[in-house]
Structure 1
Amino acid sequence: MLTGTVYAALWGPMIFVLSTIVLAIIFLRDFKVPYATNLLITYLVISLMFGAVLFIHFIAVPFSNDPVAYIILYFRFIIIGLFFMHLKGRNIDFGLLLHGALKFIACHAIIGFILSFFVIRFVVNVNSEDLNSNTFLYAFFYNSSFDLFGITVYRNQGLFWEPGILQIFMNFLFFMSSFVFRNKRYQVIAAILILTTYSTTGIAILLLQFIVLLFSGNTTRIQKIIVASFLVVVALPVFILNYNQKVNEGDTSSSEVTSSIMRVYDFAEGVNITGRYPLTGIGMSGDTYKSVKSSSTSLLSGYSSEFVDLIADRRSSNSIMYFLTRFGIPFVFAWFLLIYKQGLTKEKRWLFLLIIIISNLSEPLILDPFFVLIACSGLYSLFRFKLVGSKPYAI
C-alpha cells in the first residue's frame, strides 16, 4: 500500500500512521511468545546500528543536509523492522506471504484490465500535488493508452500510479512462480500482465527471465519449447513494437518529450554527480541537488526552454542514480549487498537483484517501503541468536 500505489500518493501519511499503530500493537502482542525478548534485542541492535550509519553519513556529507529526510528514512526502517520481526516471531514464511500478496495484486490487475474496455467512460479524475489519475470507484486506475490495430487499449497499471510499477511486482511474481514455488498458473498470468502494462523495461526484464528459464536445469524439454515459443511469438514482437513506438514518438519542437530521453538525462546527471562525490554523495537535500546538478544542455538540444526549466525542478526518475548521488558508492554497494542477501529465497539471488536494479533505473522507488523491506530482510539474515528453549536460530 505504501510503494507506488495511488493510495500512497493520495493518503500516504495517514496510511503510514495507521500501519505504524497496527504493527506496534502486533509487536507488543508478540511478547507472549517465549523468545520475544531475543527478538526485541536483535531488533534494537540492528535499529541502533542503522541509525548510527545514517548519522555518520549525515555529518560526513560536505553540503548542507536535510535532517528530516534522514529521520523519515530511519523511521521507515524501524517500522518495517517491526513487521519483519513479527514475521520471525511467529515463524511466518516471508516468501510465501509475499507470493500471496503478489497473487492478490495480479488478480486485481486482471479485473481492472478487463473492466477498462467497458467502464472507461465512467471514470473520474483524481488530482493531488503528486498525482493526476483517472479512477473507477477508487478501485481501478487508468492513465495512459496505446493503439492496437485501431483499438484503444489502456495500459494496465493495477493499484499503482503508472504501469511501470505494476510490471515490477509482476516480474517479481513471475520470478517467484518460476524459480521458487514452481507455480505455472501464476507464471503465465504474470507474463501476460507484464505485456498488458506495455512497459519497455518490464517486457525487457520478462525476456531476460525467459532466457534464464530456458537454460534452467529445472525445466523439461516440453516446458522449454513452450517458453521459447512464447518468447519468440509473443514477448519479443511486443517488445520490438513497444520500443519502436517509444523511440519514434514525440516532437522535439514542443515541451512534450519522451520518457526515454528524460531517463537518459537522469542517468547522465547521476553519473556526473556520483563521479564528483563518490564516497558520500551530496546528501538528501533537494536544494543541494538542484545547485550541484549540471546543465547538460547537449542532451536537451532541440527541446523547448519550458522543458529545460522543468528538468531543473524535477526529481530523478532513476532510483539507482538518485541513490548514488545521495549516499555515495560505499553505502549503495552495502545496500544492494543486503538486497542480494534477502530472506525471500536462495534461488537465483543474482537474478532477483538484477530485476530490482533494472526496474529502479526507470522508477523512483528504491527507498520506498517494499524495497526497504527486502534490504531489511537481508540485514536480519546476517544475525543469529538463541531462542529460549530452542536451538540457535538464524533470522
Structure 2
Amino acid sequence: MAARSFFFTLTRNARKGNKTPFRSISSSNEAVRQDQIAITHEGIADDFAEDENDDLKSRIFRLRLPKRSVSNVLQKWVNEGHQITVSDLRSISKDLRRSHRYKHALEISEWMISHEEYKLSDSDYAVRINLMTQVFGIDAAERYFESLPSSEKTSETYTALLHSYAALKHIDKAEELYERIQKANLSLTAITYNELMTLYISVGQLEKVPSVIEEMKRQNVKRDLFTYNLWVSSCAASLNIDEAMRVLDEMSLDLGCDESWIRYSKLARIYICGNQMVNSDNGCLVESEKGSVTQRELISYDFLVVLYGGLGDKEKLDQIWKSLRMTRQKMIGRNYVCVISSYLINGCLKEVGEIIEQWKQSATSEFDESLCKKLVDAFEEVGMKDEAVSFGMVLSEKGCDFVG
C-alpha cells in the first residue's frame, strides 16, 4: 500500500504542476526508496490506470508486453462480476489487430474457443487463421485449417488461408489452395478472387490477372471496386492502355456501379489520358477521391503512383513513392516503371534520373533496359513524344545502352 500511496501522491502533484524532483524526498528512508523503485513496476501503474479508466478494453491495452496474459485479465474481469459479450471480444480483437498486437488478439480467440457460451462465426475462424500466421507462422495456420471440421471449411476460412499465402507470396501454395476452393463448390465473393489477383500483381505475374477475371465472370461473381482497382492497376503496370480503357468502359456499365465507382473511373482516365488533362477539373476530383479511398484500396501502390502522377500532384506522388520504398516488399521492375512514367508526365526529369540510379543500385531488382524501351514506346504511342524524347535523353545520360 505504501508504494501505491506514493504513486498516487507523485502523480497528483505532477498534474497540479508540482515539479518537486525525486531528490527532495528523504533518501534515508528505506521504505520510501523502495517505493521509488516500485512505482516503475508495470503492475502498480496498471492498478492506478484501472482506477482512472476501468473498462475491459483499457485493461487489455495496458498489457504492454506480449508475454503478459490477456486470459488472466479476462478471467479477473469475470471474477469481479462483469459480463463479457462476444461482440465485446470481437471489437477488442479488431482493435488489437489494428495495433499489430496479434499475440493478444490470438489469446482472445482462444478464450472464445475455450468457453462454450460463445458461438464462433465463420469470420471468427477466419480471423484465427490469420492470427496464427502472424504469431506462429504459416505452418501452424495450415495445421489449424486442416484440423477444422468440414463444416467450418467455408469460403471465409479458405480465403483467410489464401490471404496468408498471398501476403507471404507463396504462389504454388496459393494456386493449389485456389484449385481446392473451386472443387469445393463454395459460394464465393469477390474477396477470394481479389486475394489471388493481389498476389499475382505483387509478384509481377500480371498476365495471370485476366484469367481470374474470366473465372469470376463464369461463376457470376459480382465484381467490386477493389476488383476493378486491381484490374486497371495490372493494365497500367503492363502499359496496356487500350485494355485499361476497355476495363473502365466495362466498369461504367456494371449494374453495381455507384458514385464512388464513377469517381474512380474518372480519376483513372485522367492518368491514362494524362496528356489531355483539364486543370480546372482536378481540384474537385482530388477532393472527392480523398473521401472515397479505403484501406483496402490502398494496397495497390502502383495505381496510386500513376493516379497522382496523372493528377499532377507531385507532393502526393513523392509521399507515396517514399512509402513504397519503405515497405518490406521486394521492389520489381514494374514498380520503377510506374513511378518513372508518373514523374515523366509531370516533367520531373531530375527525379526520373534519381529513380533510374536507385533501380540500378537496387539489391532486389535488376535494372531492365528493355522495360525502359517499352516505356518510351508507350509514350510515343499515346502521343506524348516530348516525354519519350526526354526519357531517352535521361537514359543516355545514365549510361544506358538506349537507341531512340
**TM-score category (smaller protein):** under 0.3
Larger radius of gyration: 2
Larger proportion of strand: 1
Larger proportion of helix: 2
Of structures 1 and 2, the one scoring higher in RCO (CA 8 A, sep 6+) is: 1
